[in-house]
Structure formats: C-alpha cells, structure tokens
Amino acid sequence: MPYSLGNDVIVTHGGIVSQVPRHPVAHSRPTSRNNMTSSNDVGSPTLDVDVVIIGFGPTGATAANLLGQRGIRTAVAERDVSIYPRQRAIASDEDAHRVWQGLGLFDDMLATMSTDVRVHFKHGDKTFLSMTSSQSHDQGVPGMCYYHQPELERVLRQGIERFPSVTVMPGYDAIDLVQDEQSVTVTLRPADGSPDRTITGRYVIACDGGSSSIRKLLGIALPGKHIEEPWFDIQLRAWYDLPVDAPLDFTFISDPHRPGVDCPCPMGYHRVEFRVNKGETVEQLQTEEGLRGLLAERGIDYDQVEIYRSWGYTFHIRQAEQWRKGRAFLAGDAAHIMPPFAGQGVSSGVRDVANLCWKLDAVLNAHASPSLLDTYEPERRPNVQQLTDFSLRIGKLVMLENPTAVRMRDSVIRAAMKLPTLGPLIKSNGLKPRYQLGTTGGFFGRTALRRSPRGSFIAQPWVTGSDLTPVRLDTVLDNKWTWVGFPSAPIPTPLAEAGVHEVKLEYSSAVAVHDVAAGHYVDSEGTLERQMHRSRARGFLVRPDKFIYASDREISSDDYARVAAVVEGLQLSGTA
C-alpha cells in the first residue's frame, strides 16, 4: 500500500503521485515569463485552438514547442502555478536531445547539464562494471546527460516564448473533457477561485503525468504491476564544489544488504537512494537518527550537508490500455510508467510527442487522413516496452540478494567486460536498446526488404555544404520530409512534385571539399554511406521526426500518393 508521511513527503510510485503537497495557490494568475508564458489573450471564458495540451511537465512543454514551431494554435493548461521544484528525473538520452536540438534548445540546456558521467556498479568496495553513458550512438548529440529537472523545464518553457501561436495557462486544473466528431472541450478550474472556463480544441494531448485525470476521464485503464518494496530518497545540497563540466560518478550500490543509488548532479545537487529494508519504516528513516545512519552508510557526514528533501516511494510498471480515444491522446507518464533505473522517464515522453506532433501537423495543415494519428501508438509502444524491460533488468542486477547469484553476477560481468566485442559495447552503454519504431501499424513504406531501414532513425553526422562550413545533418533536414540520397539515387519525381525536400549527398572520396555544388552536402565522415550500405541503399526518404520511411530500394509508386498527402500544404519553418 502507498504510505504517506505528512506534508513534506510525497509518496510516489514511479510517477503515480498519491499525495503531493500543493504549491502555494496564487491569488492572481501569474504571467511571469520565467516560469510560465502567456503568449495569447487567455482572458475570454472560452478559447478555441487546434490542440490543447494538459500538463506542462517535460512532455507537455516539449509538445508545446513542437507545435509552436509548426505554427499550430495550441493552448497548454497546467494545474500548478510554477515549475515543480523537486528534482525527479535526473537524466535524458540522445533521442530526447536530438528532439530538443531540432527545437533550438539543446545548447541552452547543455549550459547546466553534465555530459561527462561515468556509471559504476559496485558491490562492497569492488566495482564490477563501469561505463560511460554519454557516448552518442549515431544521433549526433551527447548520450545520457544529467541535470536538475527544474532547470531543464525552465529552458523548455522559455523556448515557448518564441511561438505566438502557443498560449500557456498556469494555474488551471483540467477537470472535465467531452468530445464529439469535430472537437474536444476541456473544462478548466482556475487556481485563483474564479469561475470555471472551457477550452475547445480539435485534438487534446494529455501530458498530465502518472496520475492523469484525463486518462481517467477517458475511461482508459492503466494495467500493470506495483512493486511493493519501498525505496527512500534523500536530496542534498552537495558537500563539494564542482564546476558544471566536471565529470560525475553515478553509482549503483549493488549490495545485497542495502542496494541503492548514488547520484551526484550538476549545480551542486546530490541524490542518494536506498532500499528500505525489512523491519524499517520510512518514518524511522526520516528522523535525524535515521538520516544520519543512512548517510553514514555512504560515507556522508550529516553535519556537513544540507538536506532539502527526503521521501519514500515504490515503483509502478504500467502502460495505458490505449493511447488514443477519439480526439484525445495520452503521452509521457500519462501513457506509461516505468521504474527509474534506466533513467528513461523524461526521454520516453519526449519520444512520444516527437512522434505525435508532426502527425498532428500533417492532419491539421496538410491533406493527411486523421487515420495517420492511429500510427502513434503502434510505432511508440514497442520502444516503451523494450526500455521498461531494460530498466527492470538493471533493477534486478542491482537488487540481487542470493549470495550465490551475487557472486555469479560479479564474475560473469567481469569476464564479459574482458571480451573483445562485448566489453567495449557494455562500457559504452551499448546494451541499451536502440530506438526503433514499431513498423506494424506504423506509417512506413509498404514493401519491406530484408535489412530494411524502415522505422530506424537516420544518423546525424556533420556534413559540409558549398559554403564549406560543417553543419549537423538535422540543420539541413530542417524538420521536413526529405529525400537524402547519393548521386545514383536522386529524388523520385513524384516526391519532388509533392514538396519533399532533397538533400543531395556526395561521397567524401569523390568530391574535393572546396568543390561542392550548391544544394549538395559531403558526407565527410562516411557515416551515411555506411548506414545506407547496411541496407544496400543509396537514398532514404526521411520523415520530419528523422525516421526512415523507406529506402530507395523499397519505395514504390504506391507510396508516392500516400506521402504526398501528408506533405502537401505543410509550412514548417524549422529552428534546428
């Protein structure tokens, strides 16, 4: 059962919050541009937009940026009046970073992120596994980066100020939702006690977290498991002083007597987590004596640190039965909750909305059939399942108790680390599942060859254009439907006529860099050549979310009209 401990302890189950102390309720609705932006007039009792986003956490804020970038009239309703001050997630990965790069926000985020983190698994004083997790695997941006979540959310919220089509409504609790064939109407209850108001959109994205009231209003079940074993989290101001670019050592304490996690974070924050052992209670651990004892287990002197939060939590592993009902979609924790061991909570929500938002754009602004939106869940769910399983595997590795199993774990992993192929793969976090979209039920080329690249992302190398300045590929792709091909695979005419953009690649071996024609780009490091070679391709049709629709070997005349319908009419101007 969930347990609650008074005002300062939140009780969470990997995202389902049973009791959250409310932030102070403002008497007048703030419009501070630091915390919340209100780009449009929100004063009228009803508001009509294309998309209503409920919830302004990392998922909702990313969605608002993606829709704003596309000029879509969007309103974001958020129950709280300011950014949630507690540190929850501490890391995100290259898939999310590439999305934020496409929004022009990643450089600002990097200013407060740590990209140099080594992850260790320790048992006693022995380290049986060490890896660097920030290595990129072809996405062209750093892998796992660590941060203070409120800082990340601040950058996301500031990003929205660039988009006049987005209205942000802080201090509005979504309490009801009704939909018909044309639209969805959401009732909002203002935190300042003024009368309820309604907002009507053609679509709704519920990004309202693990306890999603929208999911409940839609009658969508959230089946799964609750892991009863409680953990205890202490958040500290660090007792050391590190520059933001200093390397951090993140450690899983794989000790059968007390598994735990030690997470130094940028900006002087530090988190230590412990399993609550049998016979202990969160109440005991929260006393001065309990906290002193726990910190001493990690060699931290209670008198030398400032403890600003501590809480107990348990895990949920759950996925909503369906991620769409009519005109309403679930995204982020509202759709799926996974244990935190792989640090995939925030990144999963970002992947969701990156998949959904370009499709909404195609339906709202091009001629795409609304059935395109049905491809969201089948494309995304397999990846969520894979990462949930991956996270559970890490948790099991850390929490092994049987002494024989523990000895076997330590020696098998040590031996694996010495193997010529597996060792380097493990050390570079290469066992994390690569992001691949589900192709069954997805929007991809219809004929699939063996080794088809459909549903995988295009790598992001640096390429060099005619002005001789190396740029990241995504800057050239510009969030548009793009044909990326070498000279022997020019864009098929029907796609060019439909408005698909073309990036003409040159092999680095064939062209002197100073001799690049306008509109051509040299694949200087041979990255795209290698990626295409793996599927015997010379060209890819790439979707706005950087996923490959089909290669030149697979695309058929059947696909041309299908793609044209989702491209024609789009007016996207990218900010990559």
Ligand X SMILES: Cc1cc2nc3c(=O)[nH]c(=O)nc-3n(C[C@H](O)[C@H](O)[C@H](O)COP(=O)(O)OP(=O)(O)OC[C@H]3O[C@@H](n4cnc5c(N)ncnc54)[C@H](O)[C@@H]3O)c2cc1C
- Which stretches of the chain bind ligand X, using CB under 6 A? 10, 12, 15, 17, 54-60, 77-80, 84, 88-90, 173-174, 207-209, 213, 332-333, 340, 343-346, 349
Question: Residue 524 and residue 464: Cα distance in Å, rounded?
Answer: 7
Closest CA to 185 of 207, 169, 200: 200
* Nearest-approach distance from CB 58 to ligand X, in angstroms: 5
- Between 72 and 188, whose beta carbon lies closer to ligand X? 188
Q: Which is nearer to ligand X, 94 or 554 (CB)?
A: 94
* SS3 category, 468: coil
Give whole-number Cα distances, 266 to 86, 121, 237, 238, 486, in Å. Answer: 14, 20, 10, 10, 43
Residue 299 burial (CB count, 10 A): 7
- Whose CA is closest to 572, among 100, 104, 70, 164? 70
- Separation CA 393–CA 399 (nearest Å): 10
> CB 149 → ligand X: shortest distance, Å?
7
Cβ-based nearer residue to ligand X, 85 or 519: 85
**Residue 58 or residue 68: which is nearer to ligand X going by CB?**
58
Helix, strand or coil for residue 452? coil
Q: How far is the CB of 323 from ligand X (least distance, A)?
A: 13
Closer residue to ligand X (CB): 17 or 244: 17
Between 80 and 410, CB nearer to ligand X: 80
Looking at the Cβ atoms of 99 and 537, the one nearer to ligand X is 99
Cβ of residue 348: shortest distance to ligand X, in angstroms? 7
Tokens of 490: 């020019």
Regarding beta strands 539-542 and 548-551, do their DSSP bridges make them parallel or antiparallel, or are they unpaired?
Answer: antiparallel
Beta strands in 238-305 (DSSP E): 248-253, 260-264, 269-275
Nearest approach in angstroms of CB 413 to ligand X is: 23
How near is the Cβ of 388 to ligand X at its closest, in Å?
Answer: 12
* Nearest-approach distance from CB 215 to ligand X, in angstroms: 10
Strands 328-330, 324-325: pairing is antiparallel
The residue (of 58 and 465) whose beta carbon lies closer to ligand X is 58
Strands (E), 157-294: 166-170, 172-179, 184-190, 197-206, 224-237, 248-253, 260-264, 269-275
Look-up of token digits 């129950």: 79
Instruction: Find the shortest distance in angstroms from Cβ 556 to ligand X.
Output: 38
Its sign, for the CA torsion 42, 46, 50, 54, is: positive
Distance CA 458, CA 523 (A): 13
- Indicate the residue among 173 and 529 with the shorter CB distance to ligand X: 173
Give the list of residues 6+ apart from residue 563 with CB closer than 8 angstroms, or none: 481, 495, 498, 500, 541, 549
Residue 180 β-bridge partners: none
CA distance to 93, 332, 342, 356, 378, per residue, from 350 (Å): 10, 7, 15, 10, 16
Residue with tokens 């974070």: 265
With CA atoms as reference, report the closest residue to 246 among 234, 270, 264, 263: 264
Q: Are 549 and 444 in contact (CB under 8 A)?
A: yes
Ordered alpha helix ranges (H), 315-455: 345-365, 376-398, 403-418, 422-427
Instruction: Provide CB contacts within 8 A for 84, sequence distance 6+.
Output: 23, 57, 149, 150, 153
Minimum distance from CB of 94 to ligand X (Å)? 15
Instruction: Give Rg (Cα) of the chain.
Output: 24
Helix (H, G, I), strand (E, B) or coil at 92: strand
Place of tokens 């950087």: 546
**Residue with Cβ nearer ligand X (186 or 541):** 186
Q: Minimum CB separation from ligand X for residue 153, in Å?
A: 8
- For ligand X, give the closer residue by CB, 98 or 480: 98
- We find the least distance from the C-beta atom of residue 343 to ligand X, in angstroms, to be 5
179 or 452: CB nearest ligand X: 179
For ligand X, the closer of residues 17 and 413 by Cβ is 17
Q: How far is the CB of 208 from ligand X (least distance, A)?
A: 4
Residue 176 beta carbon to ligand X: minimum distance, rounded to whole angstroms: 10
Nearest distance from C-beta of residue 207 to ligand X, angstroms: 5
CB-wise, 147 or 358, nearer to ligand X?
Answer: 147
